[in-house]
A and B are shown apart, each in its own frame.
Chain A
Amino acid sequence: MKEKTAFEEDLKKLQKIVEELSSGKITLGESLKKYEEGVKIAQACSLTLAEAQRKVELLMKKDGKLSLEKFDDAEIDEK
């Protein structure tokens, strides 16, 4: 999924920004720009991790054809 690869790339980007910023080798203007970018990425990543969406599906196979069905995991909690 796009979202997911974006997440790993974002993490890498964020790490690079942190390293650049802590090296102290860039100008104040650049630092501020990087800082802003870093904060945005960090927020986006945290949001992705904390996302409250969830799907539990059942993969079915009929005559060699795969299909997805909703899986009700509510009953699982009760057991």
Chain B
Amino acid sequence: MPEVSKLKSNGLASTGQRDQHIYTVSEITQVIKGLLEEKVGEIWLEGEISNFKAATSGHFYFSLKDQGALILAAMFAHANKSLKFNLEDGQKVICFGKVDVYGPRGQYQIIVERIEPKGVGAQQLAFEQLKKKLNQEGLFDAGHKKPLPQMPFAVGIVTSSKGAAVRDILQILKKGAYGVDVILRSVRVQGEPAANEIASAIADLNSLKHLDLIIVSRGGGSTEDLWSFNEEIVVRAIYNSRLPVISAVGHQINTTLSDLAADVFVETPSAAAKMIVDKKNALLAQLSEFRYQLDFSINSTISDLKNRLTAFTHMLKSPRDHLLEKQQQIDELFSGLNYNIRHALELAQQRESGLIQRLEALSPLAILSRGYSLSVLLPQGAILKDAGMIKPGDKLKTVLAKGAFTSLVQEVFRDERKNSV
């Protein structure tokens, strides 16, 4: 083992050979400390955090462990100040530091200078942690969000006066909503001082009474570039803003905590400006709709009145109309009557000519013309139908189809037909 040879060369073993040296606790601790420093020194160490404690002094104390072992760790205030995320029990981390001995307790420990979460990046973890914390506090609550004014006539913008964001916004507003006043508070939008500048710019714009809303904006960039918009101070400034805040940071892929805290968040600076233009256009459309409805209503009120007037006029004319109606009824009745009479006459005529025909068929003259004759007993003139009506010596008159003659009865046959047959 290298330790053994080192111990020897350190003089410990050789001293022991000669004369048993008696160490004080401090001395041996110093020796151990020196050995550890020299042999182990600065290392990278992987483990899981447990027993995490942040002391009031600002120093952090915790243990790092794996399945087989545990080592105490300390991270002093100067080192943990720049830490982006919070240390928590159970976190898997990779630390950089120096193994040291804490003499007063006889403990060896690692003095951590840097620490990274294992797996996710430190920044990502910090983001998630802050997001969770602020969410629990209610900074992203939908209920806290303020509605945007129907028409923002004066807009405050927090961004860099030299950036692409302000250019995009101003161009779109100039074209689409010219009447909108803009007050720009120029700030740095990345780097160390940016968060403070953005936060105080939001507060400053809030002190201007005539503003309607604030756009907090920055053009697209890497997650690091946009980091200021994830800083707690910025998120809180947005949350506490009296004026409604539109967050327009980066491109669609980045969602910052500022976006979550803002009353409205859009994906790009242009979209924020477009939102205002759209509001204006929507209002113009609504106004023309109102104008149309005004005209429509007044016109229909008037035409409704006209219709009622016409109806009344009709009611006034009514007696004459009534008379005309009656007349028409009479006319109809008349024409019905005419028809009926004519029909009745025709029927009568038809019946009459039928009778005449039948009458003609029954006429005795017509029978005589076929050779029959008609005899009557004189002087009574009774038509003879039965030979029993006469006796010999009676005078008869016989009528023929043409002319007539008288004769005397010589003999009577009661049943001539029978006799002749």
Contacts and interface: CB of A to CB of B under 8 A. Distances in A.
Interface of A: 1, 3-4, 7-8, 11, 14-15, 17-18, 21-22, 24, 28, 31-32, 35, 38-39, 42, 45-46, 48-59, 61, 66, 68, 71, 73, 76-77, 79
Nearest to B161: A58
A31 B63 CA distance: 82
B179 A1 contact: no
Contacts of B212: 4
Contacts of B204: 59, 61, 66
Interface residues of B, number: 47
B174 interface: yes
B151 interface: yes
B298 A73 contact: no
B187 to A, nearest CB: 10
Nearest to A51: B179
B305 interface: yes
A53 B294 CA distance: 29
Contacts of B150: 7-8, 11
B297 interface: yes
A57 B182 contact: yes
Contacts of B284: 46, 49-50
B298 A54 contact: no
A48 B150 CA distance: 13
A39 B208 CA distance: 34
Contacts of A54: 174, 178-181
B179 A49 contact: yes
Interface of B: 149-151, 153-154, 156, 161, 166-167, 170-171, 174, 178-186, 200-201, 204-205, 207-208, 210, 212, 280, 283-284, 286-288, 290-291, 293-294, 296-298, 300-302, 304-305
Most-contacted residue by chain A among B167, B179, B210 (CB, 10 A): B179
20 contacts: A1-B153, A4-B154, A18-B294, A22-B293, A22-B296, A24-B304, A35-B294, A45-B283, A49-B284, A53-B179, A54-B179, A55-B182, A56-B170, A56-B183, A57-B184, A58-B185, A59-B208, A61-B200, A66-B204, A71-B161
A73 B170 contact: yes
Contacts of B183: 56-59, 68
A50 B184 CA distance: 22
B170 A76 contact: yes
B153 A3 contact: yes
B73 to A, nearest CB: 44
B303 to A, nearest CB: 11
B411 to A, nearest CB: 119
Which 4 A-B pairs give the minimum distances between C-beta atoms?
A21-B297, A51-B179, A35-B298, A59-B185
A58 B186 contact: yes
Q: Tell me what chain A mostly uses at the interface: helix, strand, loop, or mixed.
A: helix
Nearest to A75: B167
Most-contacted residue by chain A among B170, B178, B283, B297 (CB, 10 A): B297
A57 to B, nearest CB: 5
A49 B151 contact: yes
Nearest to A20: B297
A42 B182 contact: no
A21 B174 contact: no
Given A17-B294, A21-B294, A42-B290, A59 B210 contact: no
Contacts of B298: 21, 31-32, 35
Given A1-B154, A52-B179, 6 more contacts: A4-B151, A22-B297, A24-B301, A39-B291, A56-B182, A59-B156
A71 B159 CA distance: 14
Given A28-B301, A59-B204, A21 B293 contact: yes
B170 to A, nearest CB: 5
A31 to B, nearest CB: 5
B297 to A, nearest CB: 4
Contact of A35 (B154, B170, B182, B297): B297
A44 B42 CA distance: 76
A45 B353 CA distance: 96
Nearest to B180: A54
Contacts of A66: 204, 207-208
Nearest to B304: A24
Contacts of A59: 156, 183-185, 201, 204-205, 208
Nearest to A68: B183
Nearest to A15: B290
B155 to A, nearest CB: 10
A21 B292 CA distance: 12
